[in-house]
With several copies, the nearest count.
Chain A
Amino acid sequence: MHNIAISARDLRKDFNRMPVFSGVSFDLGRGETLAVSGRNGSGKSTLLKIVASLLSPTSGTVSMIADGSPVPGRFMFRHIGMVAPYLQVYEEFTALENLSIIDRIRGGSHTAADYERLLSMVSLGKRKHDHVRTFSSGMKQRLKYALAWMERPALLLLDEPRTNLDAEGIAMMLTLFEDQRREGMVIIATNEQEDVDICASRISLGYDGAAKGGGS
């Protein structure tokens, strides 16, 4: 994993000319974690999407430095793993197929053994040959974790990480979080205090669209 830092400068996003948030800035380096909090509709997911360059901000910039050299926006995804409710996996394929398909599309080169390991990590080992269509909500969420974790990304974006997970799933999520913070960065968008507490720094959105609090 590279030594990577990401920084957002004065981000602002409008939808139909209505500002959702503005003036959001933060810097994140290796081993740092950031919690994004705020009420429903305050712009947490929007912010995460912008950081993942799934959305382009109305103004402001997101920049990533890998080993001293800047990463162009369209290639940032290589260092980013994401888990989110609006991120869907392919229901007509099995868990295993989903992993191998996405791996190949990423240009990665993992072995079947790797996939197996990932799936058993999220305790889907027994169900690896079942179609995702037949998965329960929690099982789908686990699969998303496996997909995000596969490339060991430098930056992990978690939107509502506990959704659908049972106690054991949450434990899994927390260990994964710990592993990640050791060598990389994590940004969590959440409604729950527990998530905010485990992060070193926090931003809270909403309240007339301007961001309160600052990056680490």
Chain B
Amino acid sequence: MSGRGFIGITAAVFRKDTSSELRTRYALNALFLFTVTTLSIILFSFQSATVPTQVHAGLLWVLIFFAAMSGLSRAFITEEDRGTILLLKLSTISTPVFYGKLLFNVLLLLALTTVLTVLYALVVPGFAVEGLWTLCTALFLGTVGLASASTIIGALIAKANARGTLYPVLSFPIVLPLLLTVIRATTTAMENPSWGAASGEYRVLLSYIVVINAASYLVFDFIWKD
């Protein structure tokens, strides 16, 4: 398949998923409300209590992880449940579909993460950031990694529905190293102004992203045909 065509098709899949999620002009408000809601939960449950920085980092990522959870599964499961996956299979090859959905998950999660973090910083007392760039880098890498993991897990779950395998359960632990690393990076960002301070974490995150995507690329082709 020609390079241009490939990009074009990936974009098409992405556009389809986006407009299916953002069916109405209010849908964005729904996303915004979603972040506000998840955030308020923290606020309400902690009232006035003050918590140490690394806890803040942890909480922030619990929220982001939840956001990923509620978005991820739908990408593939709906296609399976409604039998539209066959239509896709008759229209293109596996790769652009996977990357289209990956792109969708990544951007959706990036948007959520951004709004979430900004709000968090605004309203949560004691969430002070020393190294802004460290934070941005960490958030970006972490989100991309998380979205990648979510996407392939979602694909696995979708299949598991049809066959009741244990694949998903086995695949869960793979998000842990990512989260733990990114939390450490975030904590660093809150205590240490220098960007380089978390360079070790960056490297881990980067390699994680590379590995998970390479693996997904291979695995997904198997899931796709059968």
A and B interact physically: yes
Chain A residues within an 8 Å CB radius of B12: 101, 104-105, 107
Chain B residues within an 8 Å CB radius of A133: 162
Task: Decide yes or no whether A164 CB sits under 8 A from chain B.
Answer: no
Chain B residues within an 8 Å CB radius of A89: 84, 87
Chain B residues within an 8 Å CB radius of A97: 19
Task: Decide yes or no whether A18 CB sits under 8 A from chain B.
Answer: no
Which of A75, A93, A104 has the most B CB atoms < 10 Å from its CB? A104
Tell me if A107 and B5 are in contact (CB < 8 A).
yes
Chain B residues within an 8 Å CB radius of A52: 90
Tell me if B91 and A106 are in contact (CB < 8 A).
yes
A75, A81, A90, A107: the one within 8 Å of B20 (CB): A90
Q: A53-B225, A56-B225, A107-B5 are in contact. Are A92 and B93 (CB under 8 A)?
A: no
Task: Decide yes or no whether B15 CB sits under 8 A from chain A.
Answer: yes
Q: How many residues of A contact B (CB 8 A)?
A: 29
Q: A55-B226, A92-B24 are in contact. Are A107 and B87 (CB under 8 A)?
A: no
- A89 to B91 CA separation, bound complex (whole angstroms): 12
B16, B86, B92: the one within 8 Å of A87 (CB): B86
- A56 to B9 CA separation, bound complex (whole angstroms): 24
Tell me if A91 and B226 are in contact (CB < 8 A).
no
Tell me if A92 and B20 are in contact (CB < 8 A).
yes
B82, B91, B161: the one within 8 Å of A102 (CB): B91
Task: Decide yes or no whether B203 CB sits under 8 A from chain A.
Answer: no
B16, B90, B94, B161: the one within 8 Å of A54 (CB): B90
- A106 to B87 CA separation, bound complex (whole angstroms): 10
Closest B residue by C-beta to A88: B83
Nearest-Cβ distance from residue B93 to partner chain A, whole angstroms: 6
Chain B positions near chain A (C-beta within 8 angstroms)? 1, 5, 8-9, 11-13, 15-16, 19-20, 23-24, 82-84, 86-94, 96, 161-162, 225-226
Chain A positions near chain B (C-beta within 8 angstroms)? 52-56, 74-75, 77, 80-82, 84, 86-93, 97, 101-102, 104-107, 133, 147
